[in-house]
Amino acid sequence: MENVQIYWNQLINLAVVYTPKLLIAIITLIVGLWLIRKMVKVVDRIMVKKDVDRSLHDFMSSLAAVGLKILLILSVISMVGIETTSFIAILASVGFAIGMALQGSLGNFAGGVLILFLKPYKVGDYIETQSFAGTVQSIQIFSTIMLTPDNKRIIIPNGSISNAAIINYTAETKRRLDLSFSIGYKENVDNARALIDKVIKADSRILLDPAPMIAVGMLADSGVNFTVRVWCNTDDYWNIFFDIHEKIKKEFDENGIEIPFPQRDIHVYNH
């Protein structure tokens, strides 16, 4: 019975000592979380006003929130009376062990940071990397998600992309469109060139500066190949690509110009 009384007295003493500290720590935690939410919203508004890229915006907001919450938790632990020095040492040891086990993930995280800051591409760009091509849907901390033209989702680790060659097809506002058209050897080259030029000039989407180029590119096995190079706005690239082919075919048909196909002459000798 005496031991119970001793334990009860110790418990009362602990309650008297730690209850105020615990209450203050809880109040600090609640107020701190409220302040962090307010601070993150302020940071968000500032980045919106500065027109910061949306991918970088989200990343920085989440990073700021996590960092501030870690500092708040350490402060609350210190207020309760727990030694933060030993706590931080244990946390560092656990972090080191986790880091060794997740080296690939850390590499992808570092790659994501590089992509967000160096901006080789952004959400909405059409890129080609690691033998894959598609429109960037989102840039996440560990991976980039792309969507192919036939609606396949591709998820590529950021570490691989940050160390690989990247072709960004939509980074520039203008692109050169390279086309090739063939006519038969019996057709008049100047007439064919004039018809191609007529189709190009009739399309207002094709830019006149730089000037379009129409030239004989090759004397092929089955016909004469024209190389056509025109400049256009990036958004119009594929529409012009398909439209010009159709219009050239119709123009050649209307003017009796033959588009050749592979042919072979067979000579039969009777002995």
Does residue 107 form part of some domain? no
Of 145, 168, 191, which residue constitutes the final position of a domain?
168
Residues 153 and 202 in one domain: no
Amino acid at 35: L
pTM > 0.85: no
Quote the pLDDT of residue 24: 76
Q: What is the CATH number of the domain that holds 237?
A: 3.30.70.100
Residues 135 and 202 in one domain: no
Does residue 142 form part of some domain? yes
Query: Does residue 66 register a pLDDT over 60?
Result: yes
Does residue 267 form part of some domain? no
Q: What is the domain extent for residue 233?
A: 174-254
Mean pLDDT, range 232-236, rounded to an integer? 94
Residues 151 and 189 in one domain: no
Provide the sign of the torsion angle of the four alpha carbons 158, 159, 162, 164, taken in this order: negative
Query: Does residue 235 register a pLDDT over 70?
Result: yes
Q: Which residue has the higher pLDDT, 17 or 222?
A: 222
| Count of structural domains within the chain | 3
Residues 94 and 152 in one domain: no
Does residue 33 form part of some domain? yes
Q: What is the pLDDT of residues 173-219, one digit of tens each?
A: 999 999 999 999 999 999 999 999 999 999 999 999 899 999 999 99
Query: Does residue 101 register a pLDDT over 50?
Result: no
Report the distance separating Cα 132 and Cα 256, nearest Å. 42
Q: What is the CATH number of the domain that holds 125?
A: 2.30.30.60
Q: Which residue has the higher pLDDT, 64 or 134?
A: 134
Q: What is the CATH number of the domain that holds 25?
A: 1.10.287.1260
In total, the chain counts a number of residues equal to: 271
Quote the pLDDT of residue 91: 59
User: Which of 91-100, 204-213, 223-232 has the weakest average pLDDT?
Assistant: 91-100
DSSP one-letter string for 231-269: EEEGGGHHHHHHHHHHHHHHHHHHTT-------------
Q: Pull the structure tokens for residue 63.
A: 């990073």
The residue assigned the tokens 């730690």 is: 18
Does residue 242 form part of some domain? yes
Q: Pull the structure tokens for residue 185.
A: 């050897």
At 102, the pLDDT band (50, 70, 90 cuts) reads very low
Residues 25 and 44 in one domain: yes
Residues 199 and 217 in one domain: yes
Secondary structure of 83-119 as H, E, C letters: CHHHHHHHHHHHHHHHHHHCHHHHHHHHHHHHHHHHC
